[in-house]
């Protein structure tokens, strides 16, 4: 497992992770913040992100990689009849060929038809990743007819455990809303758990408070997309988030970091 340990040390810092996912283009097209992939990747690198998540085409489009990256292996589009049905679109071998330091898959639990095939995909990708010593990030969500509340701690605990049980090295889940309920999630999982950023929030403080709460709840870090790459100063937002994850600052103190950071443009 030496290769996997080496790669994990690249995408994490002090066993914590600040990941910026940028795989949204397949689902939603060239949304705000992702039209110039080279610019935004360099910005989050400046801010101190430990890694980014990209689809293989965007990896090929990078002029230079100043930050470790994971290749995303799942996809669906917002125009399709089943947007929650994520299919496999890449292989671990492709990730190695492109110089990735890890791979990621998106798994939705609760779909009538899609859950079985996505579970099968998670298990097979985990086996492939182990074979080649590649870290696997499993983005686990509770979505489907049987899910009444996708932020329910019991549902999130279940999907997080599924990710760990089937071989993921890092599990990403939505934040449950408060540190105590999130502890229910992290205490039942044997691998690092990180939180998803979710939709664009109404304020920076709201994002930073979510990060602070997650860390108090036992998270190993975050995977935040829109609330970073759609920010007016993405590098500064990353610095503020990093100050909570790596320096132990409060959300209030992180707001000061954000305000003190100059515009990187």
End-to-end CA distance of the chain: 41
DSSP secondary structure string, 55-100? -HHHHHH-S---S-EEEE-EE--TTSS-TT--EE---HHHHHHTT-
Pairwise CA distance, residues 40 & 95, whole Å: 21
Q: Are 118 and 166 in contact (CB under 8 A)?
A: no
- Is 60 tagged catalytic? no
Which residue among 23, 56, 86, 101 is the active-site one? 23
The sign of the dihedral angle between the CA atoms of 207, 212, 216, 220 is: positive
H helix runs in the chain, sequence order: 2-11, 24-28, 37-47, 56-61, 92-97, 114-132, 153-165, 179-186, 204-216, 226-229, 234-245, 251-260
Is-catalytic flag, 66? no
* 172 belongs to the catalytic site: yes
Calpha distance 166→127 (Å, rounded): 9
118: left (phi over 0), alpha (psi -120 to 50) or beta: alpha
Rounded Cα gap, residues 137 and 249, in angstroms: 26
Please tell me which residue in 56, 86, 121, 172 is annotated as part of the active site: 172
Strands 87-88 and 74-75: antiparallel
Q: Which residues pair with 196 in a beta bridge?
A: 223
Catalytic residue, from 56, 141, 169, 175: name it: 141
Question: How many other CB atoms are found less than 10 A from the CB of residue 254?
Answer: 26
Enumerate the active-site residues: 23, 141, 172
């Amino acid at each position: 497992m030496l290769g996997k340990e080496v790669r994990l040390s690249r995408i994490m810092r002090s066993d914590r992770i600040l990941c910026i996912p940028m795989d949204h283009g397949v689902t939603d097209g060239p949304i705000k913040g992702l039209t110039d992939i080279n610019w935004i990747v360099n910005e989050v690198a400046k801010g101190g992100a430990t890694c980014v998540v990209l689809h293989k085409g965007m990896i090929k489009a990078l002029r230079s990689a100043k930050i470790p990256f994971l290749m995303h292996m799942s996809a669906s589009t917002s125009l399709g009849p089943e947007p929650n049905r994520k299919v496999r679109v890449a292989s671990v071998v492709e990730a190695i060929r492109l110089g990735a330091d890890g791979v990621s898959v998106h798994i939705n639990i609760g779909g009538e038809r899609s859950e079985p095939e996505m579970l099968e995909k998670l298990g097979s990708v985990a086996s492939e990743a182990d074979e080649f010593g590649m870290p696997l990030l499993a983005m686990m969500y509770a979505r489907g007819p049987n899910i009444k509340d996708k932020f329910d701690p019991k549902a999130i605990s279940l999907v997080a455990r599924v990710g760990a049980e089937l071989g993921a090295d890092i599990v990403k889940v939505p934040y449950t809303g408060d540190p105590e309920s999130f502890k229910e999630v992290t205490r039942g999982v044997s691998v690092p758990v990180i939180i998803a950023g979710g939709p664009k929030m109404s304020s920076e403080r709201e994002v930073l408070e979510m990060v602070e709460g997650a860390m108090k709840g036992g998270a190993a870090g975050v995977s935040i997309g829109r609330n970073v790459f759609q920010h007016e100063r993405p590098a500064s937002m990353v610095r503020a988030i990093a100050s909570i994850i790596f320096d132990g600052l409060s959300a209030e103190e992180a707001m000061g970091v954000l305000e003190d950071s100059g515009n990187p443009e």
